[in-house]
Amino acid sequence: MSHKRIPKRKAAIAVGGAVALGAAAILLPNANASQDGASDAAAAAPKTLKAGDASDLASQLAGLLGDAFAGSYYDGENKQLVVNVVPGDNNNVVVQAKKAGAAVREVDNSMTELQAGARTLKAEATIPGTSWAVDPRTNKILVTADSTVTGDKWDRLESTVRSLGSGMATVKKSAGTFKTFASGGDAIFSGGARCSLGFNVTAGDGSPAFLTAGHCAAGGDQWSDAQGGQPIATVAQAVFPGEGDFALVTYDDPATQAPSEVNLGDQRLPIVQAAEATVGQEVFRMGSTTGLADGQVLGLNATVNYPEGTVTGLIQTDVCAEPGDSGGSMFTRDGLAIGLTSGGSGDCTSGGETFFQPVTTALAAVGATLGAGEGAGDQAGGDQAGGEEAGAGEAAGGQEAGAGGGEAGAGAGDGAGQSAEDGSGLTQSH
């Protein structure tokens, strides 16, 4: 995992300047916002937003609307934030949400009711092979059961869902089996386990480190960038199962230069900051087994019951993944770090569900910051944007790659490095 300084002359990805989250354009209007004579219709027109800006607006509206807020999602086709509200006798909440720039949808189930339903599922249906998350697009709890949930276990799950009441939850069967995606192979190694590097970070003490999945730490404390190679990094903190699936792994050499980027194969995407996920958001995943894959965020704060135990607070997606992709990075084409691959069901041939650890939560828990610190290489926006080696091995054409350079374990297959029309270097690859 050789982390070389990457010369600017080799920069291969034309990524547009990232839009700072919390832009002034989406700040909630004050009571005098319409004094300029704008019509009520114009003031209520939904704003066109990027997914990251929509996430900021959703957070503001959740606080503004209080109990009337029933979740939100990003409409990628119209580039709008859709906010669910339970207005009750107070129609003013609808007016407020519309003035803020959201498309408003009145729904029946409040967030309080949906969260109570999730607690009931936790108490009565914590069965290995099941998961649940609030789906704001249906205003219901989406419950998923894998192929191992049969017989009495299936009856128990169905009974619990029925007890929630009509219109509160739906059950979906998955053909695969929920599992974490660690395996023997390439990328980053410990003993017989293979995982993928997520994002390079700076630990609280200033030392260079990276994030990966917490369940990967079960493979061992010391990790290498080659099968049977010398250890180059040591697990400092790990959580799994429980309130997350993440690990902080510190580089043994404090002079390691670990740029903040994702290796797409023969190109590299600078990672500029961490961000919260939004339901409906387009995301990309990089992993050492399957390379680049894409999809959408389906749910937030998901609970997944793996064979090893229950994990809470995850992001549910329809992005595919396979063994060895664990710990790999989930990000946007704008260079926002969103998640770390945890597990799921299916594969990249038949599809399936994949769950991710939110990067923001992991960073806060381990006290780290995204990117390289002093003495550990340049930050995003500097030399890290280039295209020479930042990891061990070649990535293009499906050849094996190491986990260096802040990528999600490289190993991209055919097309992983081909540029999309927007110049981001990202291609949809379901």
For residue 172, pLDDT beyond 90: yes
- Residue 218 carries which DSSP code? G
- Which domains are seen in the chain, by residue range? 1-17+110-430 (2.40.10.120), 24-106 (3.30.300)
Looking at the annotation, which residues are catalytic? 215, 245, 326
380/283 Cα distance (integer angstroms)? 20
| Counts of helices then strands in the chain (DSSP H, E) | 6, 24
Residues 134, 299 contacting (CB under 8 angstroms): yes
**pTM score, two decimals?**
0.77
Integer angstrom CA distances of residue 177 from 9, 161, 180, 405: 46, 21, 10, 32
- With a cut of 80, say whether residue 75 has pLDDT above it: yes
List pLDDT tens digits, range 365-403: 999 999 754 433 333 333 333 333 333 333 333 333 333
Residue 72 pLDDT: 96
**pLDDT, tens digit, for every residue of 297-352?**
999 999 999 999 999 999 999 999 999 999 999 999 999 999 999 999 989 998 88
Residue 191's pLDDT band (cuts 50, 70, 90): confident
Please report the pLDDT score of residue 414 as a whole number: 36
Cα 394 from Cα 426, distance rounded (Å): 18
Helix (H, G, I), strand (E, B) or coil at 276: coil
- Report the distance separating Cα 407 and Cα 27, nearest Å: 34
Mean pLDDT score, 252-281: 91
Q: What is the structure's pLDDT at 167?
A: 94
